[in-house]
Chain A
Amino acid sequence: MSPPPENSATAPDQVTEAQLRDSLRRCSEPTIQAALAYRQTKDPSHTLPIVVGIIERYVDPELRSKLTDGGEGLRLIEDLGLDSLTMMEIVMLVEEVVGLTISNDELRGLLTVGDIRTFIDRKAAGLDTTPAAPENNQSPATA
């Protein structure tokens, strides 16, 4: 007798409001609202508030004001003090909330708040998301 597969990957369209709220329970209400709206409409105008709201949760409280004032050019590591593991925690939550997967190769190309937003918008639209890495021209294996 096996329990229901509650933790298996859920198809994006089957994510309920309760599940989204649970995933984002340490994020602000506007973030949750943006995520709910994005799930329903796929309107790219919601991706920036989602990304900023998720990053906010993981940023040192003393640096959070930068996130409000800084705009899309804010650098995740240099300006917001995020380390690589925290970056991965952010990416995992963004993936879950917007229903996309981001490979570790793609993650390396995401340096600013705007990079993540652009990446999600391109990926959601089915466009090429290969990071613009100057040295590495090998196409990353897609997971």
Chain B
Amino acid sequence: MEPVTPVFFTTAAIQALMPIAPPFLFLDEATVGPSGAQGRYTITGQEFFLAGHFKGNPVMPASVMLEALGQLGVFYLLTGLPADASGGAPTDPRTIFFASCDGVRCHRVCRPGDILELSIKPRRIKAPLAVLEGVIRVGGQKAVGAEEITLTFGPASA
């Protein structure tokens, strides 16, 4: 699939396509276009790990923020990957894994009620690797930046 104009996906559509499910899915909605993807996730306060991170002081873990960006990257690989980058075959959701990341910085603490505005854009894609750049903003303010998130992906077997 290679959308020419950005395509919007609802929570239900995302859950149907993603290999990840609640309680570890951090993507409520997404828009995927030729030059990348944008998504949103509202921190509800009901996330299981917030009961302990931190004691009596719920703060979204930085690792989960990076996970959320990676998940948007997974969704981009499933719905927005240009045919010339994927080798023509659709991506098998079960083949996508995290490979590496570089240049990750957290600029702002995120708490229940915050709406994470996620965005990723491809830097280099050549099967089986995709190098993406990611940013999370809250209310327009930069919360997390990742210079490079690298995911591996493979084609669906015939």
Contacts and interface: CB of A to CB of B under 8 A. Distances in A.
Interface stretch (B46-54, B55-63, B124-132): B124-132
Given A85-B152, A89-B150, A93-B124, A5 B35 contact: yes
B131 A92 contact: yes
Contacts of B107: none
B4 interface: yes
B123 interface: yes
Interface residues of A, number: 18
A95 B36 CA distance: 21
Contact of A88 (B36, B121, B122, B129): B129
Interface in A65-117: 85-86, 88-89, 92-93, 95-96
Contacts of B150: 89
Interface in B76-126: 99-100, 102-103, 121-124, 126
Nearest to B126: A92
Give the secondary structure class of B's interface: strand
A3 B148 CA distance: 21
Interface size class of B (residues with CB under 8 A): 20 to 34
A89 B131 contact: yes
Nearest to B128: A88
A26 B35 contact: no
A88 B126 contact: yes
A29 to B, nearest CB: 17
Interface of B: 4-5, 33-36, 99-100, 102-103, 121-124, 126, 128-129, 131, 147-148, 150, 152
Given A25-B103, A89-B131, A93-B124, 5 more contacts: A2-B34, A88-B128, A89-B100, A89-B150, A96-B124
